[in-house]
Amino acid sequence: MTAMDLDRPWALHAQVALRPEPFGALLYHFGTRRLTFLKDRRLLAVVQSLAEAPTARAACLSAGVPGNELPCYSAALAALAHSSMVVGRPS
């Protein structure tokens, strides 16, 4: 899977519910009925801030993701985009 474009704006899909848990979070897509586990609390912070951040990169940086870890978070966000948990939003 390729990394996602961190310089675009993204958000949770409108049909996705996010439930924080001690280990991270559960994401449930009511349209596809897919359940996804986030096992990284920093990734949870990124996902929660996507809708307000101007770009995914800005969401990562505001969640405290160091620059050298951006490729890992980009891959994780790409997997969420591939499963329609997160979607691009207009610029």
CATH 3.90.930 for the 10-86 domain, yes or no: yes
pTM, entire model: 0.92
Give Cα separations from 53 to 9, 60, 61 (angstroms): 7, 9, 10
Give the pLDDT confidence of 50-90 residue by residue, as tens digits: 999 999 999 999 999 999 999 999 999 999 999 999 999 98
Q: Per-residue DSSP letters for 25-61?
A: EEEEETTTTEEEEE--HHHHHHHHHTTTSSSHHHHHH
Q: So what's the pLDDT on residue 2?
A: 60
The proportion of the chain whose per-residue pLDDT surpasses 70, expressed as a percent, equals 97
